[in-house]
Amino acid sequence: MTFLRPLLIGLLFLAAHAARAHTASTAWLTLSVSNATVTGQWEISLRDLDDALGLDANDDGQLTWGELRARHADVAAYALNHLTLRADGEPLTVRVREHRLSERGGGTCAVLRFEATATAPVRDLALDYRLFFDRDPLHRGLVSQTDGSGSPSLGKTAGPVNTSVLSPERSSVTFHLAEHKAASSFTRFVREGIHHIWTGYDHLLFLLALLLPAVLWRDATGWRPQASFRQALGRVLQVVTAFTVAHSITLALAAFDLVRLPSRLVESTIAASIAVAAIGNLWRVTDCETSVGTGQSLLGWLLARPWVMAFAFGLIHGFGFAGALSELDLHRGSLAVPLVGFNLGVEAGQLACVAVFLPLAFALRGSRFYRLGALPFASVGILLLAGGWFIERACDVKFLPF
């Protein structure tokens, strides 16, 4: 029993200890596919390689570059022996082209840069990973597949398209390249579009200002409720369609870099457009007539046709969307997918709002609350907010909390 005693205590402390651990054994494998060529970079901890291969020739605890260099062939053979790559079912022959080093996971890693060539452009890249699992089941292979535009061998930074944690329980993975690329970025851009319309309140506010009076019509005495839902729906559709068509046009023009406007001008004008829409709701109908035919102002004609305003200002909002889209760091040449995805996202977000707004507004349209309360007060609120934004954006200052 005596010899066991220190051990007992040794074991006992472990519970508290694991939390102070070193980084566990990890290797990072980055794969990049361009047509039929697969390039990769594999970073493997030198401590783990030493445990497997005995790299420290003189066992002094210090590994020199000379000691490591002498064993480069062994390192490459050992690593590649524990990795199988298949391109659409065809096993690939992997050649290590370069040995380098990196600092990662609290230690130095051997960096293996390798290449493999398939007989045809790769669609599915399958990976069977076995490194160190027979020596340390806690080892994990962190695999990322980047798209071909950023090759690791050039040290370029390409975000991973796909990542996977490989363990003894799950040691293989297949990356579906062509399909994944289009699908993932498409859904991603749709989500970004929805995200943008929901978080960039200015577009929604503009729409709201134009839609508030859609369930009403005005005569010389003021606002009156629309009689039929169909009529109200028709007006809403006019406004939304005009806005959509207009911003789609300019979004495409800007995304393909055919037209460029300074973002300060675009953002200020967007703020101004909201203010103008709000003012339109507050305009006293006696100040203007509803038809140009009677020889009165253009303004009167405009107020009776909010879709014209939606279209005109929609053109400017499109440039605003383009600004948001350009922040998404796109690769030129594959612009169509993001553009369509992002735009669809914007429309979906917009329609969701309209679907909530319209029935509610229609139900309330006859009430004094809506005509005398909600419409003017909401319009004044929108006007104040938009005015604030306009000053902020035009003068490049910040005083509003949102």
Partner 1 sequence: MGLLTCFWTAFGYAAVTPTFVPTDDAQIVAQLRPSGLSSSERELRTLRASLAQNPTNLPLATDVARRLIQQARRESDPRYLGQAEVALGPWWNQAVPPVEALVLRATIRQSLHDFTAALTDLDAALAIDGRNLQAWLTKFTVHTVRGEYESARRACVPLLRLGDNLTATTAAATLASLTGDASRSLRLLETALARDAQAPVPTRLWALTQLAETLDRLGRAPEAERHFQAALAPSPHDPYLLGAYADFLLDQHRPAEVAGLLRDFARMDGLLLRLAEAQAVLPAESSALKSEVAELTARFANARDRGDRVHLREEARFNLRLLGQPAAALALARENWGIQKEPADARLLLEAARMAKDRPTEDAVLAWVATNRLEDIHLQPRALASLP
Give the footprint of partner 1 on residues 36-65 (CB under 8 A).
Answer: 41, 43, 46-48, 50-51, 56, 59-65
Output 21 or 220, the one with its CB closest to partner 1.
21
Judged by beta carbon, residue 26 or residue 226, the one nearer partner 1 is 26
**Residue 245: exposed, middle, or buried by beta-carbon count in 10 A (0-12, 13-18, 19+)?**
middle
Q: Toward partner 1, which CB reaches closer, 66 or 293?
A: 66
By CB under 8 A, name the one of 40, 42, 68, 80 that touches partner 1. Answer: 68
Contact predicate 28/82, CB 8 Å: no
Nearer to partner 1, 144 or 350 (CB): 144
Q: Residue with structure tokens 């391109």?
A: 87
Q: Are 342 and 195 in contact (CB under 8 A)?
A: no
Q: Taking CB under 8 A as the criterion, which residues in 144-173 touch partner 1?
A: 144, 152, 155-157, 159-160, 163, 165
Distance CA 13, CA 16 (A): 6
CB of 252 to partner 1, least distance (A): 21
- Report the residue number, 164 or 238, with the smaller CB distance to partner 1: 164
φ and ψ at residue 17, rounded to 5 degrees: -80, -35
Compute CA distances 388 → 244, 272, 323, 397, whole Å. 25, 10, 21, 10
What's the min distance (Å) between Cβ of 202 and partner 1?
16
Which 306-365 residues touch partner 1, going by CB under 8 A? 327-328
Nearer to partner 1, 43 or 347 (CB): 43
Smallest distance, partner 1 to C-beta of residue 251, A: 18
Q: How many whole angstroms separate alpha carbon 261 and alpha carbon 390? A: 17
Q: Which stretch binds partner 1 (CB under 8 A): 74-82, 131-139, 200-208, 394-402?
A: 131-139
Least distance between partner 1 and beta carbon 235 (Å): 34
The answer to whether 228 contacts partner 1 (rule: CB under 8 A) is no
- The DSSP 8-state label assigned to residue 351 in this structure reads H
Nearer to partner 1 among residue 107 and residue 359 (C-beta):
107
Nearest-angstrom CA–CA distance, 227 and 162 = 55
Q: Exactly one of 191, 233, 302, 394 binds partner 1 (CB under 8 A); which one?
A: 191
Binding residue for partner 1, selected from 91, 137, 373, 381, defined by CB under 8 A = 137
Q: Pick the binder of partner 1 from 18, 220, 298, 397 (CB under 8 A).
A: 18
Binding window for partner 1 (CB under 8 A); candidates: 123-131, 186-194, 274-282, 386-394: 186-194
Query: Could you give the CA distance from residue 135 to residue 21 in angstroms, rounded to a whole number?
Result: 19
Q: Smaller CB distance to partner 1: residue 46 or 292? A: 46
- Select 194 or 276, whichever has its Cβ closest to partner 1: 194
290 and 225 Cβ atoms separated by less than 8 Å:
no
Q: Does 134 bind partner 1 (CB under 8 A)?
A: yes
Best CA proximity match to 252, nearest among 241, 244, 242, 240: 244
Residue whose entry in the numeric block shows the structure tokens 């006859």: 366
Q: How far apart are CA 222 and CA 280, in angstroms?
A: 13
Residue 390 structure tokens: 């306009």
**Mutual angle of helices 336-364 and 229-255, in 10-degree steps:** 160
Which two three-digit tokens encode residue 126?
């399958």
Residues numbered 82-111 forming contacts with partner 1, rule: CB under 8 A: 99-108, 111
